[in-house]
Amino acid sequence: MALPPSGTTDEAFLREVDEEYRRDQLIRAGRRYGVWAVAGLVAFLVAVAGWLFYDHSQRTAAEARGEEYDAALQLAAQNQVGQAQPGLDKLAQGEDGYAAMARFTQGNLLFQQGDKKGAAAKFASIVTDSKLAQPFRDLALVRQTQAEFDTINPQDVIQRLGTLANPDSPWFGTAGEMVAAAYLKSGKRGEAAKLYRQLSEAGPRVPDSIRERTAELAKTLSVTPTATTAQTQEKQAK
């Protein structure tokens, strides 16, 4: 039986050795890196599952707090303020929007009951809470100033609400009206008239009731006061 040329045999043998070596390398790599690939996949799946659980928990908690807030509001609307307070107190301890709204509700109830000092303190607790969103804190500053308006210096009102008493502010109506009144109390008739006019011409961004009031005040202040009236206003400002 004729034997194949030795060169051909050697090439076939080397090819088989090379293929076996490559196969062995692949198996080794699979064993070595396959473990890490599986571990990475497991870690990814655990992370996704954790996020889904967290998201579900957050949604469930928010829904529960929403129901608690609605229940407290219903009690307050039925003049059962005493029964509403425990729920509001619990909600007020949080750091989310429901915490802010619970405190707003408590402040509004105190204001309605004539306890302006207590209402101002409740609104102030929102103003100074850096964990709450800025719109809540700005509105609380407006409400705090409303509660304290008759007991603080007009200049304090102007300084507090200066940035909110401009046409670009969502609180322009209420804040602007208070600042204009503070100008008037300070004897700054021109500044008051200008701000009242801006409010009356602000359009739908400002409630109709405020626009109507400020339009009348702007018209009245546009009349130049007599010397006697001016002297009286200066004495009142002092």
Per-residue pLDDT tens over the stretch 93-146: 877 788 888 999 999 999 999 999 999 999 999 999 988 889 999 999 999 999
pLDDT score, position 64: 72
CA distance 131 to 43: 33
Q: Is 73 exposed, middle or buried (0-12, 13-18, 19+ CB in 10 A)?
A: middle
CA distance 118 to 95: 21
Q: Is the pTM of this model over 0.75?
A: no
Residue 62 pLDDT level (bands cut at 50, 70, 90): low
Tokens, residue 169: 């502010």
Q: DSSP secondary structure string, 128-143?
A: T-TTS-HHHHHHHHHH
Per-residue pLDDT tens over the stretch 190-233: 999 999 999 999 988 899 999 999 999 999 887 554 443 444 44
